[in-house]
Structure 1
Amino acid sequence: MVDRRTFTMLLAGGIAAPGVSFAQNAKVKNVFYSGVGPELTLYSVDVDEAALIRRGTVSMPANIQYAWPHPSKRFLYVVSSNGGPGSAGVAGDRHFANAFKIDPSTGALTPHGGPLPLPSRPIHTSVDLSGEFLLTAYNDPSGLTVHRINGDGSLGERVDQPDTLDTGKYAHQVRAMPDNQRVIMVTRGNNAPTDNPVNPGSIKTFSFKNGVLANLAAIHPGDGMQFGPRHLDFHPTQPWVYVSVESQNKLAVYRLDPATGISREPLFIKETLSDPSSKTRQAAGPIHVGPDGRFVYLTNRAFWLTDFEGKKVFAGGENSVAVFAIDQTTGEPTLIQNADGHANYLRTFGIDPTGHLLVAASVWPMPTRQGTDITVVPAGISMFRVGGDGKLEFVRKYDIDATAEKQQFWAGMVTLS
């Protein structure tokens, strides 16, 4: 069962910036949540100082996979599982969604109903724009579910889907589209150089009415075997959709389309790496368009290992945040920076609503070769200031006690109501 304790204030020790303090009951506009294993920790955010202060922790019934706030910012929905990532991972037998109330002054969470069992390991979850439905994607077997959100914010029953849905291979994200009349699901497939089994990636679109989905289109080049999309985000004012293509380290831009959800052909395709010719295996990561729509950010991740004197060490590659400026007339992105992430495997990140701060979270520590020595780069939370030109300035990193078994698998920013 969920640990029903409320947040404990952790004012001694933990993460804090020197010279920065918050009154215990002070109004907090932005908070940052970090999920390590089954523990979800709340941090106050000081945008001006690019600093976090640890406030407390609640526990989930299994390892946190993803979380999403209600549009009202009064509730947070967290999905968890004891299953592992990838086709070679453990399927697990405990999968849940949980609703929490968000304290509007502090961001503290309190359970709001019991855990809702899910059919398999959830990889992503989101809430539709009306706040009436929880959308959840599952990677293996690839699929999605829709659950009602009750008027009080608690989770309700699953919505039956009368039609067989095209859910592709290895779903990785599901979101309502800006009109809230369609849903889009990114299915990554498995088509990177060493993937086994190998199968196609695709972007699936569905009509959406009263929680019921129907197939609209499947968007992918050719047979999808050279297309491994991971996540996407929408421009806040223009009909442009920005897609992080994981397996090929690309940024693809599509246009919203009334018939198919998005255009069948991309408007632009851009490289995300500082050295696209590198033969080291890389993987593009999560993506967010900045609040004013002038820039788009995504991570490049490298986390594979090689042998060194009988031990496994980092094989090399780029762990960075790629920054693109967006042409406000055409939507074309131009790469302007690859900012060092100062940690390994930046799986999630958040941008504060003013667009002045980017906070990125790495999954696990990494043994790294330094000459003839091996050092371990800890998992962490990396803080960046965002300049007026969109570029990132690294400020500090907070080390996090994560392991390969207890990963910092999700983290994100929430603005309080």
Structure 2
Amino acid sequence: MVDRRTFTTLLAAAIADPAVSFGKTMANKNIFYSSVGPELTPYSVDVEKAELSKQAAVSTPANIQYAWPHPSKKYLYVVSSSGGPAAGDVSGSVHAANAFAIDPATGALKPHGDTIKLATRPIHACVDHSGRYLLIAYNNPSSLSVHRINADGTIGDQVEQPNKLDTGIFAHQIRATPDNKRVILITRGNNAPSDNPADPGSIKVFTFKDGVLANLAAISPGDGMHFGPRHLDFHLTKPWMFVSIESQNQLAVFKLDDKTGLSRDPLFVKNTLADPASKLRQAAGPIHVSPDGRFVYLTNRAWWTTEVEGKKVFAGGENSIAVFAINQTTGEPTLVQNADGHGNYLRTFNIDPSGKLLIAAPLWTMAMRDGSTVSAGLVLYRIAGDGKLTFVRKYDIDANEKKQQFWAGLVTLA
């Protein structure tokens, strides 16, 4: 954790350095949190001006993997690990979950309760809609855990799971369905070319009651060998679930079902690239449905390198935000834009509740063939009435292969 001296230094730097301070005003209570390595930094968001104002950072036991707010918006739950790609050590030895209290006026974070030690690297976490349980997904070995959230917002005991759960290969995201009766675990598998073993991907669906899970369904179109799901999001009013299919650069739409959990096959599958015929290696990324349910956004990512004159540089590919309009009768998405990502590897992004502003967070700085670099940062776009994005500005951030901007997200304060 950050001690008083470090906290004071960070705060003074944010006040003194205009390049760090970004915006100067806080016009509302939207806070964008960005993690770089183990540090988590809040930025107040002025939606109308599309400006950010940086606040003092806090620290976690290891590199931050994901974070999720409590439904009350009073607490933020953060999982961290010394394992993963940034560490150069797949396994790692430090794995933790922490609760932070959110200042209702500023969004500043304060440690809340004890650090909870975890057995392996957590890759995703969320809070169920009742606010009583913290759900955590682990990628290797692929698994999950459920932890009680105490009445005061601190993390409590782990819930024992009496049933043997099918957790697939390479879990990547865990979410509770809108009715809170089911939990969905996205298991990515491994079917990227050449550098990974071939393993099937699947969507695992569990019943969920009082923190206890039971197997309900496993969705693997075909044999799952050409199905690499990464993230999902739900339509707010319709029974539709939108899934980014990572290694195929596709968007799939499934129907939620009260009895079976999910349709066995997608209702629609769409390509996400501006040039679907491109032979360059690509990967679809995170996904979010707009607050009004009219559009769905996901990223296309390319980050592989090639060697030029003894230096590793970007090999090429599409880093963009794909914008789809959603047919409100059928759920069919139609691609309407591929907006330039203004950065390499857009691993996370979020949309403000008014649906006017989208903020994307490139993972790291990348060297280019022409000798230039494309920096990591926070990229701000205005969202038009037709869902399309217009780039406004980018705030550069110091992030690299070893110290990555691995997670970022927006919270509207209570």
* TM-score bin, normalised by smaller chain: over 0.9
Which residue number in structure 2 is paired with residue 390 of structure 1?
Answer: 387
Q: CA deviation at 1:121?
A: 0.4
CA distance in 2, matches of 1:364, 1:415: 26
8 Å contact kept, 2:304–2:315: yes
- Identify the structure with the greater helix proportion: 2
Q: Deviations over 1:83-141 (max 9, x none)?
A: 01399843001000000000111000111012100110000000000000000000011
Q: CA deviation at 1:162?
A: 0.8
Which residue number in structure 2 is paired with residue 399 of structure 1?
Answer: 396
> Is the alpha carbon distance of 1:388 and 1:119 closer, same or farther for their aligned partners in structure 2, counting shifts above 3 Å?
same
Q: How does 1:23-42 map to 2 (within 5 A)?
A: 28-42=28-42
Q: Deviations over 1:15-38 (max 9, x none)?
A: 445xx522xxx6741000000000
Which residue number in structure 2 is paired with residue 300 of structure 1?
Answer: 300
2:47 alignment partner AA: V
8 Å contact kept, 1:35–1:411: yes
Query: What is the DSSP-based 3-state SS (H/G/I as helix, E as strand, rest coil) of the residue aligned with 2:313?
Result: strand
8 Å contact kept, 2:363–2:406: yes
- TM-score where L is the length of structure 1: 0.95
Which residue number in structure 2 is paired with residue 198 of structure 1?
Answer: 198
8 Å contact kept, 2:87–2:402: no
8 Å contact kept, 1:28–1:416: no
Count of aligned residue pairs for this structure pair: 408
Could you tell me which runs of 5 or more consecutive residues in structure 2 were left unpaired when the two chains were aligned.
Answer: none
Query: What is the DSSP-based 3-state SS (H/G/I as helix, E as strand, rest coil) of the residue aligned with 1:184?
Result: strand
Which residue number in structure 2 is paired with residue 55 of structure 1?
Answer: 55
Which residue number in structure 1 is paired with residue 129 of structure 2?
Answer: 129
2:381 alignment partner AA: F
8 Å contact kept, 1:15–1:52: no
CA distance in 2, matches of 1:142, 1:84: 14
Runs of 4+ in 1 over 3 A off after TM superposition: 4-9, 14-17, 85-89
Which residue number in structure 1 is paired with residue 327 of structure 2?
Answer: 327
CA distance in 1, matches of 2:87, 2:24: 45
Q: Deviations over 1:117-173 (max 9, x none)?
A: 011000000000000000000001100000000000000000011111100000000
Structure 2 residue 187 is the aligned partner of structure 1 residue 187: yes
CA distance in 2, matches of 1:387, 1:120: 42
- TM-score where L is the length of structure 2: 0.96
Could you tell me which runs of 5 or more consecutive residues in structure 1 were left unpaired when the two chains were aligned.
Answer: none
- Which of 17, 21, 24 is matched with 1:21 structurally? 24
Q: CA deviation at 1:223?
A: 1.4
8 Å contact kept, 1:4–1:110: no
CA distance in 1, matches of 2:77, 2:389: 30
Which residue number in structure 2 is paired with residue 147 of structure 1?
Answer: 147
- Which of 10, 13, 16 is matched with 1:12 structurally? 16
Q: Superposition RMSD on alpha carbons, in Å?
A: 1.5
Q: CA deviation at 1:67?
A: 0.2
CA distance in 2, matches of 1:384, 1:341: 10
Q: CA deviation at 1:259?
A: 2.1
Which residue number in structure 2 is paired with residue 336 of structure 1?
Answer: 336
Identity of aligned residues (%): 67
> Is the alpha carbon distance of 1:85 and 1:162 closer, same or farther for their aligned partners in structure 2, counting shifts above 3 Å?
farther
